[in-house]
Structure 1
Amino acid sequence: MVFALLACTVADSASEVEGAETGASATIEVTVTQARDTPVHRVQWSTPSAASGEVRYGTDGLASVIADDTESTEHHLWIAGVAAGAEWTLQVVSEADGETATSEVITIPAASAPPWVLAPTLTVPPADEVEGFQLCAKTGPQSGFITMLNRDGAPVWWAETLPMASYRARYDNATATFSWMEAGTEGGEPSFVTSTFDGVQTRVPAPPTAHHDFAMLEGGGFVTLALDDRELEGVTVRGERVVEVAPDGTNRTLWTSWDTLTWPGDAGKKNEDGTVEWPHANSMHYDAAAGKILVSLLYVDSVVQIDRATASLDWRFGGEGSDWTIEGESFAGQHGPMSFADGAGMALLDNGTPGQVEDAAVARVYDLDPEARTASPRWSFDAGGAHTGVLLGNAEWLADDSVVVNWGSAGMISRVDASGDTRWEVAFGLGTYTGFSDHVADLAGAKR
């Protein structure tokens, strides 16, 4: 759907405006284009001379403002964050040489989410301090989709994916693009998919055995998990490697589990085809500032840190052979680790011993002393033991010292403060895995 109009104001100043006589009306041409079937819209406008500008918008008046401070004659802004089902309005304002041009107020009809976008139930309404968005990859046997939720649990953007193919999606605010990995589907080659708001996609080939998780790299590349099979004692053991993938699809191995671990011969998960999964990397986190990659290894109850620049192992955290001393409660069967505070903290979801379905999942945060290699529990949250036998999931520490806990196969996401109080929660219900989720502080105004 496209709206086009000429919005005029009178320029009474003696200063000249290109394309208009002194004292005549200056015009702004505004085009508003819907991004596919979503509530996201692209606002474009032209000015006769170089000008700054802003878009004022909202569902109840024009309270939100997104600015484009770059002086130019052509302006492009994505307006994202309006919920599905909501009608809203916008107005463009541009200024040059002390003169202001203001468009008419444009009404944008409500966009409805398609049936395959399963909107969650808001089980705990947001506290005042809860802001931002939650990006989720949901997958099941019949369908898969990516969705961005606002603080009310309403979808503000979505994209359909293949069933049982994508556990994680990422958003890059600098380029206003989403990325996800489609892997493990029958007859299809794994690939990294990057999409604009309006669905223009590019694909980069992923390693043939890429699985579970990935992270975006600076400059358009990716880092991912991939299997590394070895024949041991007549058995194919599915080890792991961490692979960096360039934008052209070429890749290099940064680390392999065989350089660090020795298969004990009786560990791991035996598959129907006779192969054994061990140690089973299930999730990862990339700290771009430090150039460090965390990888969760399920069947050895460990997290390892890889240095991207040197392609070498820094340390192993947790489990037998840990390089760290964990004071207090440790973890098992973990997913979704992340580092924060320049490596002085780690958050993860302790899913419990693999195969022990009665174990309750616990979100844990540790304070780390990198020099002494000691870790002490800062915080934990188990939702009263409500979530047992959980697969996937992650714990994400936020700057306000709250933690977003994605309960994976339980189909719930909670935001919990440092006191253990739930400040926001949504539930998709059993049968819809929420995979891994990412908190996104701001969506609106991406200049692309």
Structure 2
Amino acid sequence: MGWRCERRGPGILPVEGERHRPRRGFRAWRRWTSPPQPGQRGVGVGGCRALRPVQGAGRAGSFRGAPPSPRLPGGGAAVGRVLLPSLSLLLACRTPAGVPEVQLEVTLSARVPTTATVRWSGLREVDEATLSVTVSDGESWEQDITRGDATLWALPPDEEVTLVVTARSGGDSFTSEPVVVATRGPGGLLHTLEATGDTDRAFDGDLVVTTTVVSPPAAVVIDGRGRYRWWAESEGVEQLSRARLSRDGQHILAMSVNLAGNETAGIRRFSLDGSLDDHVLVNGMHHDFVELADGTLAAIVYSYKDIGHGMLMLGDRIVEVAPDGTETVIWDVWDWIDSEESDEGLIGNNWSHANALDFDEATQQYTVSLLGLRALARIDRATGELVWLMGTSQSDFAWPDGETTILERSHQFEYVDGGLLAFENGVASDRSSRAVEIAFDPDERLVEEAWSYTPDPTLYNCCLGDVERLPSGDTVVDFSTNGTIIQVDPGGTEVWRLSGEVGTAFGYMQRIAPPGGPAAPEPAAGRMLGR
């Protein structure tokens, strides 16, 4: 039996409960047998990583992978036959005295094994440090890690991820040995997804933050190949309608829909390792929320009105919660819209049925979708005044024939150049939902249909639904309760589709950049649309 330097290709660091730590003079020897597992650590150091006995390795220069080129104290290369294990270890792994070693430590999250915490050490002073990330599926990027640690999240599941740190100090560069971690997917926790079409074109190469509404209700991040890149189950909540990446990039925020029992769920704040940090609660929060630049959270909240005979009618408010917990009511539907307005097709006492909320930082104005009134309302944040109303008999806009019902029961929407793009649920008897772009001039107050997409065969959403126009010009349409997201080109031709197994339902969408990529641009805010 001989001994040889074991590199294992790119340098997979098995852990199985052990750590690989350097010793003075030569590295510690461990017999590693598998890659790091969630909750465990793998540590790589400069020089030789691990040595193990290998049958028949008694000849000189017998190495697996790329052999090291150790130098003797006098400067000559270490050569010759391997005669004794102790001498072989010393020659193969000795580090020249006084040369700093960059040590890299990686820990996978036990809850979400596509999230890794990376730490490095070894230099007292450093000008800059860069983390290089290479994924076995072909993705790669570099990011700054000068402060000494970083959290990698939304990594591709079921892949090997190779990590290397290069630190620069005083004109010199020091590089760690690569550490390889094996990510894993959610297993059977979440619904199975299938992506068809041009997966590289999906979301213009970005990721999407959304929810699996039920079974289980979870906040998730999905890529164009239909892979779950991140997830967190929201225990104790019946359904989740919205998830967003926080402004600081350190949390995923999630909110439930408006079913009984969810009124006290609030907005849940999950760390990137999948743990629940805390929640922000205003009783009656439902459907949708936004986060402002200063960290203030604004949400749709029920507003109750006594209509006599012991009956309460549900309206809606927009309520802000500042980072210090201060609550401010920005707008209440009862103050601005005639209570005689209603959609007779809705059952129950949920009069306005607000279901989607957006905010434009430039104009400091909110827009809220009121499905119960078949309307959208634009509201000034500072004054709480109604800027304009699209829909109802009080509508500021109309079709050329004078009709003021602009959208037939819509959910999420976004402003595009010269108009509004919305998910229109339609009426149940038609069994057809669609994406529709409405062009309108705030001065002329006339609207016209500029574009629409209806799949063939048709899909009908009774609840939820979302739409986004991508920078490429493609449009992504989220047929939520059908468990289907479709991307079409400007001509309406399908280029990509994501389908979930029976029982899958997606919540609202937020597009984000993949790890290491530039931030995904915010959707158009429609600055021209205010009065």
- TM-score of the pair, normalised by structure 1: 0.86
**Worse-superposed segment, 239-248 or 81-90:** 81-90
User: Match for 1:338 among 414, 417, 437?
Assistant: 414
Given that 1:38 and 1:158 are in contact with CA atoms closer than 8 Å, whether structure 2 keeps it comes out as no
Shift in alpha-carbon separation, 1:85–1:127, aligned structure 2, 3 A: closer
AA of the residue aligned to 1:350:
E
User: Match for 1:311 among 384, 403, 414?
Assistant: 384
Counting matched residue pairs gives: 424
User: Match for 2:335 among 249, 256, 259?
Assistant: 259
Report the counterpart of residue 237 of structure 1 in structure 2. 313
Residue 283 of structure 2 corresponds to residue 208 of structure 1: yes
After superposition, the CA RMSD in angstroms is 2.9
**Worse-superposed segment, 249-258 or 195-204:** 195-204
| Distance in 2 separating the partners of 1:430 and 1:263 | 39
Given that 1:149 and 1:156 are in contact with CA atoms closer than 8 Å, whether structure 2 keeps it comes out as yes
Counterparts of 1:23-422 in structure 2, within 5 Å, are 24-35=98-109, 36-46=111-121, 47-60=123-136, 64-68=140-144, 72=146, 74-128=147-201, 130-140=204-214, 142-162=215-235, 163-172=237-246, 174-182=248-256, 186=261, 189-234=264-309, 235-264=311-340, 267=343, 269-271=346-348, 276-326=349-399, 330-341=406-417, 344-353=418-427, 356-422=428-494
Given that 2:341 and 2:392 are in contact with CA atoms closer than 8 Å, whether structure 1 keeps it comes out as no
Shift of the alpha carbon at 1:62?
A: 7.5
Q: Which ranges of 4 or more aligned residues in structure 1 deviate by more than 6 Å?
A: none
Shift of the alpha carbon at 1:367?
A: 3.5
**Worse-superposed segment, 327-336 or 85-94:** 327-336
Report the counterpart of residue 13 of structure 1 in structure 2. none
| Distance in 1 separating the partners of 2:429 and 2:516 | 41
Given that 1:327 and 1:375 are in contact with CA atoms closer than 8 Å, whether structure 2 keeps it comes out as yes
Shift of the alpha carbon at 1:127?
A: 4.7
Shift of the alpha carbon at 1:96?
A: 3.1
Shift of the alpha carbon at 1:311?
A: 2.0
Q: Which residues of structure 2 form unaligned runs of 5+? A: 1-39, 49-68, 70-95, 519-531
AA of the residue aligned to 1:414:
I
Shift of the alpha carbon at 1:192?
A: 1.7
| Distance in 1 separating the partners of 2:137 and 2:498 | 28
Shift in alpha-carbon separation, 1:112–1:199, aligned structure 2, 3 A: closer
Shift in alpha-carbon separation, 1:61–1:223, aligned structure 2, 3 A: closer
**Worse-superposed segment, 313-322 or 211-220:** 313-322
Cα shift readout 1:148-193 (whole Å, capped 9, x = no counterpart): 1112110111000144332100013633321112465638723222
SS at match of 1:50: coil
Shift of the alpha carbon at 1:365?
A: 2.1
Given that 1:54 and 1:67 are in contact with CA atoms closer than 8 Å, whether structure 2 keeps it comes out as yes
Report the counterpart of residue 5 of structure 1 in structure 2. 44
AA of the residue aligned to 1:60:
S
Residue 518 of structure 2 corresponds to residue 442 of structure 1: no
> Percent identity of the aligned residues?
22
Cα shift readout 1:376-425 (whole Å, capped 9, x = no counterpart): 43321111252024321111222222222111111111222222122221
| Distance in 1 separating the partners of 2:343 and 2:450 | 31
Shift of the alpha carbon at 1:259?
A: 1.5
AA of the residue aligned to 2:181:
I
| Distance in 1 separating the partners of 2:276 and 2:385 | 33
Shift of the alpha carbon at 1:309?
A: 2.3
- TM-score of the pair, normalised by structure 2: 0.73
SS at match of 1:175: coil
Given that 2:461 and 2:479 are in contact with CA atoms closer than 8 Å, whether structure 1 keeps it comes out as no
Report the counterpart of residue 527 of structure 2 in structure 1. none
Given that 2:232 and 2:275 are in contact with CA atoms closer than 8 Å, whether structure 1 keeps it comes out as no
| Distance in 1 separating the partners of 2:434 and 2:320 | 31
